[in-house]
Amino acid sequence: MKPWISRLGSLLLIFSSSQIAAEPSLWLATKGHQQLYLFGSIHLGTEDFYPLPAPFTEAYQQSQRLVIETNVSNISSQDQQVLSAASQLPAGKSLSDYISPQYMTLLAKRSQELGLSSHIFDNMQPWYVAVVLSQLQMQTLGYQPELGLDLHFIKQAAHSNTPVYELESFADQIEALSSLSSIQVPLLEQTLDDFDQVPDLFKQLVSHWNNGENNKLLNLLNDDPMFQQGAEQVLEKLLYQRNRNWMKQLTQLENTSFVVVGAMHLYGEQGLLDSLKKLGYAIREVDPLTN
């Protein structure tokens, strides 16, 4: 097994937790009169995620704006065209031109398990097939995009007329995801090979996130070969470059902001928390007992 590939989809969905109490982590970065509440989001969720702990609600209510990656509830026809252009194979090409007959057969089996025809993937880039399969598999486990934490706060903002600040466009996100094309064939092959194992891994990750088991999550990341070798350019596009772009914007926001981004963006030497600290921000984890 290549764990760095099989874990990629799940780790992009969840990588955050708290050491203070058995609930997710909320961070506060302050410098002068500026305050940034930072929350590492899971993009798929269940009803069990809610209600969120009181400090999350209170921090959001105290904020002048909601800051998100991009507003996925407002995808335009132009955005759909961007996705189609990035995710579809060139004219005259089919998925079978990229993966072996053995894996085409396995794709048919996995598709059937999801109640789909594998032919819907015929014209898709291998990296996009892997992403779609992972998303659909999570949904069969009860994790739904509409219950993800970013969408939860987007809906809250619409209800409370809170301004929403987007750190990037939908096209920017698709460009970052398309960096997976450099590893797309082994990524899809491993997604298919490890299909039966991913549900248990994802449940484990969600459990660690929900129970505040930060060290276990950190160990999963530190032990993963993806983050040590072989996929530097993917990480650069998916995480580090985007973090640098976001930092330029976050540091310019006035007063108090509630920031909801994919949790993997917060941590590590090039994560948002460390980058803010290097710029002189005071960083602390919000204690759910004392706030």
DSSP 3-state assignment of 193? Answer: helix
Q: How far is CA 22 from CA 95, 113, 115, in A?
A: 44, 35, 36
pLDDT grade, residue 144 (50/70/90)?
A: confident
Tell me the average pLDDT across 98-120.
95
pLDDT given at position 213: 63
DSSP 3-state assignment of 260? Answer: strand
pLDDT given at position 63: 97
**In terms of pLDDT, which residue wins out, 77 or 30?**
30
pLDDT given at position 218: 55
pLDDT grade, residue 101 (50/70/90)?
A: very high
Q: Are 139 and 149 in contact (CB under 8 A)?
A: no
Q: In what order do the strands lie in the sheet with 164-166?
A: 164-166, 65-68, 256-262, 34-41, 26-31, 282-285
Q: Are 245 and 251 in contact (CB under 8 A)?
A: no
Percent of the chain scoring above 90 in pLDDT: 47
Amino acid symbol at 215: N
Query: Residue 35 has which token pair?
Result: 């305050």
**Which of 200-218 are b and which e, b meaning 16 or more Cβ less than 10 Å from the residue's Cβ?**
ebbeebbebbbebbbeebe
**pLDDT-wise least confident of 29-38, 118-127, 193-202:** 193-202
Counting every residue written for the chain, the total comes to 291
Q: Given a cut of 50, is residue 10 above it in pLDDT?
A: no
pLDDT given at position 252: 97
- Provide the angle, in degrees to the nearest 10, between the axes of the packed helices 101-113 and 184-193: 50
- The reported pTM is 0.85
Percent of the chain scoring above 70 in pLDDT: 82
Q: Using one digit for the tens of pLDDT, what is the confidence trace for 211-257?
A: 656 556 556 555 544 444 456 777 788 889 999 999 999 999 999 99
Q: Given a cut of 90, is residue 265 above it in pLDDT?
A: no
Tell me the average pLDDT across 60-69.
96
Q: Using one digit for the tens of pLDDT, what is the confidence trace for 78-89?
A: 988 999 999 999
pLDDT given at position 45: 84
pLDDT given at position 214: 57
pLDDT given at position 263: 76
**pLDDT-wise least confident of 14-18, 40-44, 113-117, 252-256:** 14-18
